[in-house]
A and B are shown apart, each in its own frame.
Chain A
């Protein structure tokens, strides 16, 4: 209701806008924003000429709004609403214009009209309006909403998701425009979008995290030469003054109290419970306490921090794997009983706040067991690294690595509890590196669901997911489809689309995992078999890829007979390629056969043939964006980067939010040594899918090669805001 009246004054009398206090008519920004419009390929399109005015006006509006004068904005807004007429009662001096707006009106009106009712309804309506603002092609207008009572967590969630979503909606728009859109949304919900709020979502131990980042980050910035990097990074591990330096410097820098006082606060909540009910509760309380601590610490994504023994210990406590009982840590560390765990336990049973005091009091002293452990290990590392550095001067050392390993296994880290710690440390290191390594390892085939999914409980997540996918909102579509397959685990279509969305979102591991489920549900689905073949090809897993591509032909109604019956023991690439060439002779006009052939030739690294096959397929299917990307990737892998960039550009023109193509662009530039350029493309891909692990790793390499050591920290902490600001596209 409000919405239509907001629009019509602009339409009916464009000149009036000149009179508005804070609004200028179509500024120089207009061409930038409109530019080319790949959204025209989406369903529900209409002639953009017709709605150009309001769009331009609106963005100007928002720009002004963004650049400061909020009051001015409101005044303008209210004035624009003044001629309060019913929607169908306008002077229709331009009927076609109005029909367009009726369309828009129909699209956006429903949610707008319900700013009453329970907060959830208002919120969901409002967020829907945000989503629809994309389809309508008009900027999103802020509104005054009733107080929602959103929690901090909700706000973070909305802020993060809306900024990712906006990058999908407006993939073709400038960053300013996108930011204005997001700001308009967030402002209405009274969510801050400044960097401060975007920072670490946890506030409990910021100083600890900061200290860690500083201590870990410093050397990286100071080592501009590749040769120095190793040594520099090694030096970080070496204690500067001695084993206590870690604890001391921590204390010096931040004081004992700031950390401890944080603890006290948390403690007071939990310990009152523990005091009342004795030991069992005390364990539970300890778990709860450590869980909070672990959660906070785990937010720091620096692998070195993640691997620290302290965090490991805390996590184990919080998972209940270590139990504090009778002043012993059970089951795993009997000899560790006199450690800080005992302190922890005692304090827990005895009184309220003193654990934190105790902790603080002991921080500077080396008697404290875990600090000693930590220091011990630092020293050990220090020693071995000294060796390492010493060896550099000799330059011709044989098998030094073996030596290092012998040392490790002979218990250079000490005996008893320390030994145990060393093992645990190694194990933990392995665990925490596991998932990072996996992408290059064999595909685990286990789908990892998002921990928080707003679509769980949605009445029809499949439909929602299809809709989101069609609109190019890949990250959102993934969530909706995850909700679908959680609800209907045997829905082949849900799994298949989830796989495709994941692949387009540049996550082959998840794509493979979902496609395997799709195949289990429907073993003969050709699209699923092809997708599996492609994903395994990307992961360089020859045998698996070959199996699925052969399966594609086998289950094809037309070409199935080309394959001799029975499963061969060993698949030979040449045989499979032979069957497909036969199929291509049978049906030269079948684009799909050429596509599979192209993938097959990628597998055997016969790139010229692969390129020829994809080009044939493109003649038959010129609007297939994924096909353009396949051509580009093949060209890139055979070092024809200029051609590849052209092909990716075609793909992105057809689908502006195709994360994989953005990431591939980055790879192409990086492989040509154009690291500066590659950075912006990686950042763009990541802004649409922060879960694209490969892109993070490649971004880090490019930052190093482009000597942008100042931004490495932003990369390591995954601070997308800072990266986007620094590297706009």
Chain B
């Protein structure tokens, strides 16, 4: 993952560590769903990198999910960051087309900014 130039990649990396912590384990218990994120540098659908945030097993992996994820989201890098860090609310992102959803919408509802850890600043 280190080779990616996406900001989302950095956050995914932090998410990976986060899921191993106590707070992360709580999250797994609470949500128990598999999200696949297709994240594009500039335009949705173009040059996407695919991450799986598996909140069943509590892990983050790169590459498409083997099987059927509960929801697949498509984002631009900046929009994903904005949603994950609470700058843009997911409904607005959705209405504006900044976030595309494929799969179970009831599962999509559980996708809220608080599941991602927030980066601290040097």
Contact = CB atoms under 8 A, between A and B. Distances in A.
The 5 A-B pairs with the shortest beta carbon distances in the complex, nearest first, are A673-B23, A633-B120, A440-B81, A540-B7, A636-B120
Interface in A493-544: 506, 508, 534, 537-543
Interface in A400-435: 400-402, 404-405, 408, 426, 429-430, 433
B83 to A, nearest CB: 9
Given A226-B110, A396-B103, A701-B114, 8 more contacts: A400-B101, A401-B102, A441-B78, A534-B122, A541-B7, A543-B5, A639-B117, A667-B120
A583 to B, nearest CB: 20
Given A401-B94, A401-B100, A632-B120, A673 B22 contact: yes
A660 B119 CA distance: 12
A442 B7 CA distance: 10
B1 to A, nearest CB: 8
B90 A437 contact: no
A664 B78 contact: no
B91 A673 contact: no
> Range of interface residues on chain B?
35 or more
B61 interface: no
B46 interface: no
Interface stretch (A182-190, A257-265, A344-352, A599-607): A599-607
Contacts of B85: 440, 694, 697-698
Nearest to B73: A401
B112 A226 contact: yes
Interface stretch (A201-209, A228-236, A270-278, A291-299): A228-236
Interface string B94-122: 11110111111110011011100111111
16 contacts: A230-B109, A398-B102, A401-B102, A429-B96, A433-B92, A437-B87, A440-B81, A440-B82, A506-B121, A537-B122, A540-B10, A542-B10, A637-B120, A641-B21, A663-B121, A672-B23
Interface in B20-73: 20-23, 26
A634 to B, nearest CB: 7
Contacts of A195: none
Interface in A673-728: 673, 693-694, 697-698, 700-701, 704-705
A644 interface: yes
B102 A697 contact: no
Contact of B102 (A233, A399, A430, A543): A399
Nearest to B3: A573
A69 B94 CA distance: 57
B80 to A, nearest CB: 9
A698 B86 contact: yes
A670 B85 CA distance: 12
Interface string B1-15: 010010100110110
Interface of B: 2, 5, 7, 10-11, 13-14, 17-18, 20-23, 26, 78-79, 81-82, 85-92, 94-97, 99-106, 109-110, 112-114, 117-122
A663 B26 CA distance: 24
Interface residues of A, number: 75
Given A227-B106, A440-B81, A671 B87 contact: no
A234 B105 CA distance: 14
A391 interface: yes
Contacts of B88: 433, 436-437
The residue among A234, A664, A673 with the most chain B CB atoms within 10 A of its own CB is: A673
Interface string A635-671: 0111101001000000000000000100110011011
A662 to B, nearest CB: 12
B92 A395 contact: no
B109 A397 contact: no
Contacts of B90: 230
Interface string A595-632: 00001001011000000000000000000000001101
B10 to A, nearest CB: 5
Nearest to A699: B86
Nearest to B79: A437
Contact of B121 (A395, A398, A399, A538): A538
B118 A698 contact: yes
Interface in A451-479: none
Nearest to B1: A605
A434 B15 CA distance: 26
A439 interface: yes
Nearest to A678: B118
Nearest to B113: A701
Nearest to A441: B78
Given A508-B121, A664-B121, A401 B101 contact: yes
A670 B86 contact: no
Nearest to B107: A395
Nearest to B90: A230
A408 B96 CA distance: 10
Contacts of B11: 540
B97 A401 contact: yes
Contacts of A701: 86, 113-114
